[in-house]
A and B are shown apart, each in its own frame.
Chain A
C-alpha cells in the first residue's frame, strides 16, 4: 500500500498495572520523514515504540504500520527496530547473528555496505560477549537495518555511546533519511533531535505536547536571550520585558519576552560590548513546553 503513512497511530492508550503510560495519543508519520520522539524518561516514548512493534497490546486505540497491523508489518519485514532492552545472544559471533537476521527478511541490505553504514567494520568475527557498549549498540543498529526495511524504529539508539560515537551515529541516521527510509527515533537528547530530525514530536506524560519542525517547536518559545559583557556596577534591575538574569563572570545573559524593548533600554543606559542575541534553543522550547504540562495534569 504505497499511499499508507509509514505510521498511523490513533487514540493509543497504554496502561500498565496502576499507571497510564500513553494517553489517547494520535500520531501520523508519512513515509520518508525523520521524526524524533522527544521526552523525559517515563514520558511514554518507549511505550509508543513497543506498541508500534506489537510488543505490547494497547488498552485502546489502533496502530497501523504501512497500512498493516504491527504484527503483520514485523512479520513481512517492513520494520527494523533497535529496542531499548534488546540484546544479542551469547556464544555467537557478530557475523553469525547478522547473517541470521539478514536472511529472515525478504530483502537484505548488502553486507559490505551494511558494515560500513552501521560502523561495525572489523567486528564480524568477534564474539558478541567481547563487544563494548558502543560496539554492541552499533551491532544492534546493523540488525535493525539488516533487512533494508522501509520503517526504522530506534528507541534511544545512542544511550550507550560516547560523544564521538553519538555524532557518527547522527551522520548515519541522516544518511538513512537521505536513502528514503522513514526513521522514527526516541531520544531524550535535544541535541540529537535537533541534529537529525526534520520533525520533532514532544511527548510528556503520555501525550503529544508539541509536534512540528525543530524550527516550529523552537518558535513555540517567543523569547530571546541577550548576552553581553557588563561592568560589575551595571544596573540590570527594572529592565522592560526581562524574565530572567544570569551572570557568569562579566557575562550577563538576559531572557526576554520582547528583545526590542529590552535592547532599547539597555542601549539608553550605556554600551553593549560583545552583544549576542539569539532565539530559543530546542532545549529552551521543550523545557517551556513540558513545564506547561506538569506530570499528572492529563488525568
Chain B
C-alpha cells in the first residue's frame, strides 16, 4: 500500500489551498473568535469555557474540511481519466479506495493537532494530558463520517460540481452545525435543524470529552448512523458507475 499512499499524500500536500483551509484558517479562527467572545466574559472561568468550546469547534471544522477536501478529489481523478488508467495497472481497485480513505483520515490530523496546540499555548486552554489525547483521538476517529461523505460526493458529482460542493458543504456543515457560533444562540427551529447535521454531533462528541467525560451514547450513535448512511450510499454510487463511460 505504501507507494500509492505516499503518492496520494504528496499530491494533496502540494495543494496550498488545502493546507490553508484545513490548518491555517481554523487556527486563525480559534484565536480571533476566542478573543472576541471570550473577551466579553467577565471572569477567567468564563473565558476558559469559551476558549475550550471554540477550540473544539475549530478542531471539528478543520477536520471535516480536510476529510471532505481530500476525498472529494476522487471526482477530479475520475474526470482526468487517472482512475481508468489505474484500472489497467496491477493496482487492485480495493487498494485505490482504501488509500483514499486512509489519506482522508490521515489528513484530518494536522488541523486537529495545530488547533489543539493553538488552544493550549495561545488561548491557554487547560486540560489534563489524558483529556487532550482523548479529544484528538475521538475527533480523529469521528472524522470517518466526513471521509465517507466526501467519497459519496466525489463519486456522485462531476468534477466542477464536486469542486463547488466542497466550499458550500463546508459552510453549511459549519454554520448550521454550530461550529462558527454556539447552537444555543440559534433560534428554536435552527436548533432543531442543527441536530440533522453530522457536524453538530461530531463537535458535541468533542465537547463531551473536553468537559472531562466520555461522549454521550446518543451522540456517538447519531454520528455512527450518519457515517453508515454515507458509506452505504457511497458504495452504492461507486458500484453504479459504468466502467466504460468516458468519465467513469
Chain A residues with a Cβ under 8 A of chain B: 16, 47, 50, 53, 55-56, 74-77, 79-81, 83, 85-92, 96-97, 99-101, 103-106, 140, 143, 146-147
For the complex, what is the distance from the CA of A99 to the CA of B77, rounded to whole Å?
A: 18
Contact with A along B9-51 (1 / 0, CB 8 A): 0111011000000000000000000000000000000000000
Closest chain A CB from B149 CB (angstroms): 22
Using a Cβ–Cβ cut-off of 8 Å, how many residues does chain B contribute to the interface with A? 25
Q: A50-B244, A87-B82 are in contact. Are A79 and B3 (CB under 8 A)?
A: no
Given contacts A55-B243, A74-B90, A104-B91, is CB(A88)–CB(B11) below 8 Å? no
- Whether B195 sits at the interface, judged by CB under 8 Å, is no
Bound CA–CA A250/B92 (angstroms): 64
Q: A83-B85, A89-B80, A143-B85 are in contact. List 10 more A-B contacts (CB 8 A).
A: A55-B84, A56-B244, A76-B90, A77-B90, A83-B81, A87-B81, A90-B80, A96-B7, A104-B90, A146-B89
How would residues 86 to 129 of chain B score, 1 for a CB under 8 Å from any chain A CB and 0 otherwise?
01111110000000000000000000000000000000000000
Q: Inside 8 A of B87's CB, which chain A residues have their CB?
A: 53, 55, 74
**Contact A101–B80 (Cβ < 8 Å):** no
| Contact call A85/B81, Cβ cutoff below 8 A | yes
Q: Tell whether A104 pairs with B88 under 8 Å between CB atoms, given A55-B243, A56-B244, A89-B77.
A: no
Are B3 and A100 in contact, CB atoms less than 8 angstroms apart?
yes
- Residue in contact with B3 in the complex, picked from A56, A86, A90, A104, CB distance below 8 Å: A104
**Which residues on B sit within 8 Å (CB–CB) of A140?**
85
List residues of chain B with CB within 8 A of the CB of A47: 244
CA–CA, A146 to B89, complex, Å? Answer: 9
8 contacts between A and B (CB under 8 A): A86-B81, A86-B88, A87-B85, A88-B85, A90-B80, A92-B11, A96-B7, A100-B4
CB distance from B159 to the nearest CB of A (A): 10
Q: Name B11's contact: one of A74, A80, A89, A99 (CB within 8 Å).
A: A89
Q: A75–B84 contact, CB under 8 A? A: no
Contact of B15 among A79, A86, A91 (CB under 8 A): A91
With A and B bound together, what is the CA distance between A91 and B77 in angstroms? 11
